[in-house]
Amino acid sequence: MPPPPPPPVPAARPGAPRLYLKTHGTRVARLHLLDWVVLAGLVALDGALNAIEPFHRFVGEDTVPGLRYPLKDNTVPVWAVPVLAVVAPMAIVAGIYVRRRNVYDLHHAILGKFSGTTTAPVPVLLMCLRYDNVTREVICHGDPGVIKEGYKSFPSGHTSWSFAGLGFLSWYLAGKIKAFDRGGHVAKLCIVAMPLLLAAMVAVSRVDDYWHHWQDVFTAGVLGLVVASFCYLQFFPPPSGEQGFWPHSYFEHMLTLEGEIEVQSAAGSSRHLSLTLDSSPGRAGTEMRSSSQALDTMESGRRS
């Protein structure tokens, strides 16, 4: 009786496997539960710092000429900054997930995005909380809310938010379209630069509206880009690398999956070998019995 065939080994399919939100999302979220708790703490800290009265910088007669500019309405409203820095990039990330079905990429992009946009305002608000014991200053009249925002002018919150969110999006798009694959594609560079240009437009509008000095927006832009770069490289490889398309944890998952497949294949091969060895003695005994019967027949024929 022939031995049973070996168990089929899963064939390697080209391209990225489908890592759906329902099958892998719970596992990924559970692994990063502490990260989300810390992120919620940063959001609470941001709100608490924003409620505290900021440092009142001394405004003397010598500094008044530099502040005598007509205050304009915000070209970019306050509500538009979260839309540009958070909502729009998240829509792009969600669209890529619908196309590729990689929950590791979806989760880490969202976590990195929120890490950048919640971390960037914290140092901005901390710079406003300084003690002041100078009382001889020019008295400011006007809307208390506008005056409070004026005391928080350095660095610019609009600019830091914009560069933190849109800077992360530039990193993310550079990895997805392989902008630095040495192919010399100008179109890819334009796609990567568009979020940064949008953030720069927000920064320029703050100076044009006389809400900030150029030093405020320049410092905030550098701060936002640094935070965005740290947050992206925490979860994703550099876009110029061969594995810059997916996050670090995805490749770790693939290595674990390949190890499990190799173990299953080795177990199946050893089981097939043991079955073959077990069936060999029976087959040899059958052949020996057949040979003995043939010899007995020949001897009985000779005797007859």
The pLDDT tens digits along the chain (304 residues) read 555 555 554 444 444 455 555 556 677 777 778 878 888 887 787 777 767 666 556 555 555 455 555 666 777 887 888 888 888 888 998 888 888 777 777 877 878 877 776 665 544 444 444 434 444 444 455 555 555 565 566 677 778 888 988 998 999 898 888 888 877 788 888 999 999 999 998 888 888 777 777 788 888 888 889 888 988 888 888 888 777 777 776 666 655 555 555 555 555 555 554 555 455 554 445 544 555 555 455 445 444 4
- pTM value surpassing 0.75: no
Residue 90: which of 106, 104, 68 has the closest Cα?
A: 106
Residue 110 lies in a domain: yes
Q: With respect to residue 41, please indicate whether it lies within any of the assigned structural domains.
A: yes
Question: Could you tell me if 220 and 160 are in contact, meaning their C-beta atoms sit under 8 angstroms apart?
Answer: yes
**Residue 11 placed within a domain:** no
C-alpha to C-alpha distance for 55 and 154, rounded to whole angstroms: 11
- By residue range, what is the domain housing residue 216? 21-246
Planar angle of CA 71, 199, 116, nearest 5 degrees: 110
252 assigned to some structural domain: no
- Confirm whether 265 is domain-assigned: no
Determine the pLDDT at residue 127: 46
pLDDT at 140: 53
CA distances from 246 to 31, 97, 258 (A): 18, 12, 17
> For residue 22, what pLDDT is reported?
52
Q: Is residue 81 part of a domain?
A: yes
Q: Where in the sequence numbering do the catalytic residues fall?
A: 158, 212
Contact 101, 22 (CB under 8 A): no
- Give me the DSSP letters along the chain: -PPPPPPPPPPPPSS---B-HHHHHHHHHHHTHHHHHHHHHHHHHHHHHHHSPPP-----TTTSGGG-SPPPPPSS-TTHHHIIIIIHHHHHHHHHHHHH-BHHHHHHHHHHHHHHHHHTHHHHHHTT---------PPP-S-HHHHHHHHT-SS-HHHHHHHHHHHHHHHHHHHHTTTTSSS--HHHHHHHHHHHHHHHHHHHHHHHTTSS-HHHHHHHHHHHHHHHHHHHHHHS--TTSTTTTS-HHHHHHHHHHHHHHHHHHHHHHHHHHHHHHHHHHHHHHHHHHHHHHHHHHHHHHHH-
- Looking up tokens 């500094």, which residue turns up? 63
Q: Could you tell me if residue 55 is inside a domain?
A: yes
Is there a domain that residue 45 lies in?
A: yes
CA end-to-end distance (rounded Å), the chain: 36
Block residue for tokens 């999006």: 169
Domain total of the chain: 1
Instruction: State the Cα–Cα distance between residues 147 and 140, nearest whole angstrom.
Output: 7
pLDDT of amino acid 197? 92
Nearest to 247 by CA among 76, 118, 104: 104
Long-range contacts of 136-145 (CB under 8 A, 24+ apart): 136/58, 136/60, 137/56, 137/58, 137/59, 137/60, 138/59, 138/60, 138/61, 138/64, 140/59
